[in-house]
Amino acid sequence: MITIVIILFGVGKSHKMIIRTLILLCFILVSSSLVQAQNTDALEDQYYEYYNNGDFNNAIKYALKILNIQEKSIGKNHPDYAFTLGNLGVNYLAVSQYDKALAINLEVVELRKRILGVEDEEYHLALGNLASTYSKLGQYPKALTINLELLEIRERIIGKKHLDYIQTSQNIASNYSKLGQYQKALESYLEVIKMYNDISNTETQGYAMAINNLASTYYKLGDFHKSLEYRTKGLSLFENLVPKGHPVLLKVIKELGNNFGALDDDFIAVDTINYVLKKIESNLGKENEYYALGLQSLVICYYNIKNYSRALNLCNETLSMQQKLLGKINPDYANTLFILSQIYFATGDNRGMQTLLEVIDIQERTLPRDHPYYLRTLGYYQIIK
**C-alpha dihedral, 326 to 330 to 333 to 339, nearest 10°:** -170
For the stretch 263-312, pLDDT in tens is 888 889 999 999 999 988 988 889 888 899 999 999 999 999 999 999 99
Q: Reply yes or no on whether the pLDDT at 328 is more than 70.
A: yes
Say yes or no: do domains 29-137 and 299-385 share a fold: yes
106 Cβ neighbours under 8 A, 6+ residues apart = 130
Find how far residue 262's CA is from the centre of its chain: 26
What are the extents of the domains in the chain? 29-137, 299-385
Rounded CA gap, 364 and 331, in Å? 10
Per cent of the chain over pLDDT 90 is 80
For the stretch 21-61, pLDDT in tens is 555 555 544 444 444 555 688 899 999 999 988 899 999 99
pTM (predicted TM-score): 0.79
Given its phi and psi angles, is residue 327 left (phi above 0), alpha (psi -120 to 50 degrees) or beta? Answer: left
In this predicted structure, what is the pLDDT of residue 54?
A: 87
In this predicted structure, what is the pLDDT of residue 38?
A: 56
Given its phi and psi angles, is residue 117 left (phi above 0), alpha (psi -120 to 50 degrees) or beta? Answer: left
Q: Which of 144-158, 233-247, 266-280 has the highest mean pLDDT?
A: 144-158
CATH class entry, domain 29-137: mainly alpha
Average pLDDT over residues 155-183: 96
pLDDT tier for residue 149 given thresholds of 50, 70 and 90: very high
For the four alpha carbons of 360, 361, 362 and 368, in that order, the dihedral sign comes to: positive
**CATH (residue range 299-385):** 1.25.40.10
In this predicted structure, what is the pLDDT of residue 7?
A: 43
Mean pLDDT of the chain, nearest integer: 90
197 Cβ neighbours under 8 A, 6+ residues apart = none
What letter represents residue 63's amino acid? A
For the stretch 77-130, pLDDT in tens is 999 999 999 999 999 999 889 999 999 999 999 999 999 999 999 999 999 999
